[in-house]
Amino acid sequence: MSQPRPVALVTGGAKRVGRAIAMALAGAKYDVVITYNESSDAAGKVVELVRAGGGEGLAIRADLTEASSIDEIGRQVRETFGGLTVLVNNASIYEPGGMRDASLPRARRMWAVHVEAPLLLCRSFEPELRAARGSVVNMLDLLAEKPMPSHAVYCASKAALWNLTLSLARELGPDVTVNGIAPGVVEWPADYPLSEREKYLRRVPLGRPGTPEDVARAVLFLCSPGGYVTGQVLRLDGGRSLT
């Protein structure tokens, strides 16, 4: 009998970086579950592509600001696949908000998505991840170390997830590896001025922006079976953090 395929869950996996991660995992012979909030058409396309490649795919609509969504994700993953090997906490809200203009509802939404949801998903899937000797990868941001005042709330919530990554690595060892990826620019905002892009790249030793596929390859490395890396944060920035 053939061995069952490993199963990966990627939150926010319908578009951009999350989509690239989901497709890379599918290419590595994982069955893939993604969550999405509003991008139902994009989520359906990811599932189609996973299935076209010979795997099983599942898209779950989930508002990660609601604790009930965590229970629903757990229920659907267990009913469909029975277990989980890899958890990628990728879902994110990138919005401005400094000290003077940050609203409490916006701050709480970012905290819920960037800190509470990863924590609760790890707790929910702890038995399955331990049984599979699996991996958790948390998507962070270089701005957690070098915050922008205009995005103080976002940066602070990502810094909290950075610290949570270290705690979870200790708590889930020796069975589960837990690591983070802190990208620099891996996909320019559509309205980002060309002059600002050039200014940024002048401070990147590798001289180019990253890509979602760069992130996806790093996820595959950190999820390698039998890996000896845990409690680490990979600065995926082309060297930008050095300058």
Q: Which residues are catalytic?
A: 154
Count CB neighbours of 149 within 10 A: 10
In 87-238, which residue ranges form alpha helices assigned H by DSSP? 104-111, 117-132, 152-172, 194-201, 212-222
**CB 132 within 8 Å of CB 172:** no
Amino acid at 63: D
Confirm if 230 and 179 have CB atoms less than 8 A apart.
yes
Q: Amino acid letter at 124?
A: S
**How many residues make up the chain in this entry?**
243
CB-based burial label for 145 (10 Å; 0-12, 13-18, 19+): middle
